[in-house]
Amino acid sequence: MRTSMIERKSKETHIKAKLNVDGRGDRARIKTGIAFLDHMIELFAFHGLFDLELDVVCSDTAIDIHHTNEDIGIVLGKAFREALGDKAGIRRFGGAGAPMEATTARVLLDISGRGYFKLNIEEDKVVQLKGKEEYSFTYLEHFMESFAHALGATISVTVQNVSDDVHTNVEAVFKALGLALDQATQVDPRREGIVPSTKGIID
Ligand SMILES: [Mn+2]
């Protein structure tokens, strides 16, 4: 069973996660306290066919969502890292795109053991979500950086035809991330028991 349970407690946040990589995607229970992020992570789990429970027990959102957003990325990355164990048999690489209206997001991902994140956007079109919670490309970058490092993955995200609505951009990214991570975590029967690296380990 490729499952994990993570609990992380700091002076800023207390977060619990329960994950089944081989789920069906429609059993997500996401309670981050940031409604926008709940929506994004639910989409990610649904399209990645992951069963995910995520509970932010407490956090310092009275300041802003900075720490909570980052720490959710850390906990989610740890949950996948632990569930995948020695990574024997997995495809390791994943690549997927998702369109939303005119906007397209592409995610290329390698569960290499090395955390690295790159966001490619047209720099002149940095937009900010103004609503009940604020979200932005900067927050997306913080989240993805934390996730990539905690998982030990190289993740490259490209957004084209950037929408003025940050919701549209970020939603396309989270859908593509779910699709790409589903691919990368799938077991290839031809590779049974083999760690997908010429080094023999992915740590
Ligand atoms: Mn939406």
pLDDT tens digits, 71-92: 999 999 999 999 999 999 999 9
Tokens at 194, concatenated: 């083999």
**Ligand 1 centre from 126 Cα, in Å?**
19
**Ligand 1 centre from 25 Cα, in Å?**
17
What is the reported pTM? Answer: 0.95
Cβ-proximal residues to 29 (8 Å cutoff; 6+ apart), any chain? 52, 53, 54, 55
Residue of 76, 148, 78 whose CA lies nearest to 111:
148
User: What residue numbers bound the domain in which 92 lies?
Assistant: 3-190
Pairing of strands 103-110, 154-160: antiparallel
For residue 195, being part of any structural domain is answered with no
For residue 202, being part of any structural domain is answered with no
For residue 201, being part of any structural domain is answered with no
Can you give the pLDDT at residue 165?
A: 86
Can you give the pLDDT at residue 126?
A: 64
Task: Give CA–CA dist 183/91, Å, rounded.
Answer: 7
Whether the CB-CB separation of 127 and 169 falls below 8 Å is answered with yes
Tens digits of residue pLDDT in 20-42: 999 999 999 999 999 999 999 99
**Ligand 1 centre from 142 Cα, in Å?**
20
For residue 15, being part of any structural domain is answered with yes
Can you give the pLDDT at residue 73?
A: 98
For residue 196, being part of any structural domain is answered with no
Whether the CB-CB separation of 41 and 73 falls below 8 Å is answered with no
DSSP-assigned beta bridge partners for residue 20: 3, 51
Which segments in the chain show pLDDT lower than 70? 123-133
For residue 32, being part of any structural domain is answered with yes
Can you give the pLDDT at residue 123?
A: 67
**Ligand 1 centre from 101 Cα, in Å?**
12
- Report how many domains make up the chain: 1
CATH number for the domain that contains residue 172: 3.30.230.40
**Phi first, then psi: what are they for 18, rounded to 5°?**
-135, 130
For residue 139, being part of any structural domain is answered with yes
Residue of 121, 110, 116, 117 whose CA lies nearest to 169:
121
For residue 200, being part of any structural domain is answered with no
